[in-house]
Chain A
């Protein structure tokens, strides 16, 4: 039995929707947020319609059930039923989208605040364009010393940071669930793996209150660590973060 192209389109759309919902939501237990799913489905539908309509016969076959329904005088009753269903469906979707909810509104959160070109901490001014980790050089020059520095950085981490960022550095510390947004997950490829050490130094030293004026308001519970630990301890903890996660800080070829 040959199924009509329109039905085929509906089936294919259903299969892709089901894949996104079931595979990610049930099998992987990581559902796709509705904002992203809507974008995915929009282009899946567009793609399916393009494939089914690129030939003249294909387009005619795809449209013929709709054309038939709209133009055939014998299908008056069916037409009415479809019109009612479509209108009710549209009304239902609209109602669901605008009905009052206790849910906080969606937010286009900017995840990486842009750093300033220079900033003040420990009564000094740092230039973020040239700032480097003073201990990084020991990785090559004196590996034993480097190892000790990383170890000391680990101590700083477990005394100060792990309560929120977690003992696996995955942002799942004891207090993590009390924060929105959750503390940064350093194991994620999109956090420290994408950043320079100078950026981490700035974020740690100045914390939430040090975030830039631009693109405010920022949401960050990060303490101003320059009030609690030393400059050296910050550089050491940065060594530890990269060492533990296995990432290498962002760097550039010399221009």
Chain B
């Protein structure tokens, strides 16, 4: 039944694209056809050539009037599309991410011959397969809503991206096929050479899924930083230039990493749900382990995420000062404060989960005394992370302060301070992980003492370097250097993570266990931290997605095609936050439904 639903939805979407393509793109041609036509024209008479030159092969971006936007009583087009796009994106992020780490976990299971990994990977993919059909449903709803409410915009976009949209539809078939074979063939392709075949199918599934996302990213980024068109929006015939626009790669990187973190957090929430409803010790132990693995995936992807985000933002600023200022200094600046708070909440809940998890091991007591210092640093960095540059003040406070800026806290409101804080926050989260990792172990190698000294020295050196770069380059040099200094800061952080991990792996090779690790021996509170992680991620993605889209302001395609619909205004922060929150509630309700479906599907009489 489920397969049938998916098949119908897939066929429906492909048909919708195929049918709409010739209707919506009377002037569109493939780049090859365009080149051929130009060649032909060149060999024709000069008069004919002149005529051909005058007549554009592709139309300019249409100048729309309010009446060009169809209205359907009882529906607000923008909100329908907002919700459909957001829900599609959340589910898509989830279903694209899960196969990535499922493939890795399956590979680990294969290499270690530990069946538990294989079982867990299967359970992860099982959750995502239910979400897959919902992703398709929301994708279809989004495509149809766009055609209904913004037909001229879709016509223009299809004129440029028609070929990639068709490719998208066919790739969707390929993804469905590889996903179904990967999932339904799990037990069939589970031993010997067949396992390699299964892994290869998983690889194909990921390659196709990632390509799908990159294609959709091209359409989205074209709307922000149009490429392959002239100032009037006339397509120049080079599809690659339109796809490979200025912001395409930064978004590709940011979304790929964020998807993994997000997918990890959602399956972590599933594990927490199953842990809390578990009836037996074995079940608790299994879902505790599953939650730990999911949290590990989420954090591993979360750590480099701020760097990818920073690159994306820097590129937005580089592309357009207007979009850059609207984003972080202008009308959306306060949403960035909410973003900072939510990112801090992510770090705090991830750390709390690790600290609680130390209860699984008797050896962890040795390290409990350090947690308060780690927490102090993380909270201090967190406060810096969300301190705004422009403060909200009463008139009395304004007078007491003598101006709109705080003399000492104001400097914390700009990026050098934020970069410094987030790098240190990441390092201390990594420290929490290192302590957790070694909690139950005693190193037996002769050089353990020196290994520890080396790790402390690396940490200290990197922190000094990060603070120096942040303070000196951030406040005493020009902006090109300011932005540039974030790179060595990130390099310092990554250097610490990689080097300390290598030292740790060798130092604890063959280490003695203090006592058997007690999976399942964690407080319920830690599971709520996993829920918080998933909800924070979801909300964060919704708010940031709104900002990314909203910085175009009254443009469908930035500076090329103006949005003249009655909804072409920037809503207030409160209103936007309400819409996003409603979407979060709908998403979480569907996710809980999926969790429940998975729970009942594994019940036996």
Residue numbers of A with Cβ under 8 A of B are 24, 28, 30-36, 39-40, 43-44, 46-47, 50-51, 53-56, 59, 103-104, 106-117, 128-129, 171-172, 180-182, 185, 188-190, 193-194, 196, 198-199, 214-215, 247-253, 255
Query: For the complex, is B480 an interface residue (Cβ under 8 Å from A)?
Result: yes
A180 to B554, alpha carbons, bound, how many Å? 29
Instruction: Determine which of A54, A106, A129, A251 lies in contact with B479 in the assembled complex, contact meaning CB atoms within 8 Å.
Output: A251
Decide: B388 and A190 in contact? CB cutoff 8 A.
Answer: no
Q: Which of B357-395 contact A (CB under 8 A)?
A: 358-359, 368, 371-372, 375-376, 378-379, 382-383, 386-395
Decide: A117 and B414 in contact? CB cutoff 8 A.
Answer: no
**Residue picked from B401, B405, B407, most chain A C-beta under 10 Å:** B405
Decide: B400 and A189 in contact? CB cutoff 8 A.
Answer: no
Instruction: Determine which of A55, A104, A215 lies in contact with B359 in the assembled complex, contact meaning CB atoms within 8 Å.
Output: A55
A162 to B322, alpha carbons, bound, how many Å? 28
Decide: B392 and A33 in contact? CB cutoff 8 A.
Answer: yes
A250 to B376, alpha carbons, bound, how many Å? 35
A254 to B326, alpha carbons, bound, how many Å? 22
Decide: B401 and A59 in contact? CB cutoff 8 A.
Answer: no
Decide: A190 and B414 in contact? CB cutoff 8 A.
Answer: yes
For the complex, would chain B's binding face be called helix, strand, loop or mixed by DSSP majority?
A: helix
Name the segment of B62-70, B328-336, B593-601 touching the other chain: B328-336
In the complex with contacts A33-B391, A194-B329, A189-B411 CB distance below 8 A: yes
Decide: B570 and A214 in contact? CB cutoff 8 A.
Answer: yes
What number of B residues sit within 8 Å (CB to CB) of A? 68
A-B contact count (CB 8 A): 172
Q: Which residue of A lies closest to B378 (CB)?
A: A47
Decide: B414 and A189 in contact? CB cutoff 8 A.
Answer: yes
Decide: B392 and A56 in contact? CB cutoff 8 A.
Answer: no
Instruction: Determine which of A56, A171, A181 lies in contact with B523 in the assembled complex, contact meaning CB atoms within 8 Å.
Output: A56
Residues of A within 8 A of B298 (CB): none
A171 to B404, alpha carbons, bound, how many Å? 10
Query: For the complex, is B100 an interface residue (Cβ under 8 Å from A)?
Result: no
Residues of A within 8 A of B318 (CB): 252, 255
Instruction: Determine which of B393, B405, B414 lies in contact with A35 in the assembled complex, contact meaning CB atoms within 8 Å.
Output: B393
Min C-beta distance of A28 to chain B, whole Å? 6
Given A31-B401, A32-B409, A33-B393, 12 further pairs, Cβ under 8 A: A28-B408, A36-B387, A43-B383, A44-B379, A46-B348, A50-B375, A51-B371, A106-B393, A117-B322, A128-B322, A190-B410, A252-B480
Residues of B within 8 A of A50 (CB): 348, 351-352, 355, 375
**Residue picked from A24, A51, A103, A104, most chain B C-beta under 10 Å:** A51
Decide: A106 and B359 in contact? CB cutoff 8 A.
Answer: no
A-B contact pairs, 24 of them (CB 8 A): A32-B409, A34-B394, A35-B392, A36-B391, A50-B355, A55-B359, A56-B359, A106-B394, A107-B392, A108-B334, A110-B331, A111-B404, A113-B325, A114-B330, A171-B403, A182-B404, A185-B405, A189-B411, A190-B390, A190-B413, A194-B329, A215-B326, A248-B477, A252-B318
Min C-beta distance of A170 to chain B, whole Å? 9
Residues of B within 8 A of A106 (CB): 392-394
Residues of A within 8 A of B383 (CB): 40, 43-44
Decide: B397 and A188 in contact? CB cutoff 8 A.
Answer: no
Instruction: Determine which of A39, A56, A215, A250 lies in contact with B331 in the assembled complex, contact meaning CB atoms within 8 Å.
Output: A215
Instruction: Determine which of A24, A30, A103 lies in contact with B396 in the assembled complex, contact meaning CB atoms within 8 Å.
Output: A103
Residues of B within 8 A of A31 (CB): 397, 400-401
Min C-beta distance of B310 to chain A, whole Å? 15
Min C-beta distance of A101 to chain B, whole Å? 9
Decide: B395 and A59 in contact? CB cutoff 8 A.
Answer: no
Q: Which residue of B lies closest to A106 (CB)?
A: B392
Decide: A59 and B321 in contact? CB cutoff 8 A.
Answer: no
Min C-beta distance of B493 to chain A, whole Å? 22
Residues of B within 8 A of A250 (CB): 478-480
Query: For the complex, is B16 an interface residue (Cβ under 8 Å from A)?
Result: no
Query: For the complex, is B25 an interface residue (Cβ under 8 Å from A)?
Result: no
A32 to B409, alpha carbons, bound, how many Å? 8
In the complex with contacts A28-B408, A117-B320, A33-B397 CB distance below 8 A: yes
Decide: A43 and B382 in contact? CB cutoff 8 A.
Answer: yes
Residues of B within 8 A of A113 (CB): 325, 330
Residues of B within 8 A of A53 (CB): 525
In the complex with contacts A50-B352, A112-B325, A116-B322, A39-B395 CB distance below 8 A: no
Which 3 residue pairs are nearest across A and B when measured between Cβ atoms?
A248-B478, A112-B329, A54-B355
A129 to B324, alpha carbons, bound, how many Å? 12
A128 to B407, alpha carbons, bound, how many Å? 31
Residues of A within 8 A of B391 (CB): 33, 35-36
A115 to B326, alpha carbons, bound, how many Å? 9
Decide: A39 and B386 in contact? CB cutoff 8 A.
Answer: yes
Residues of B within 8 A of A110 (CB): 329-331, 333
Query: For the complex, is B110 an interface residue (Cβ under 8 Å from A)?
Result: no
Residues of A within 8 A of B322 (CB): 114-117, 128
Decide: A215 and B570 in contact? CB cutoff 8 A.
Answer: yes
Min C-beta distance of A32 to chain B, whole Å? 7
A154 to B556, alpha carbons, bound, how many Å? 44
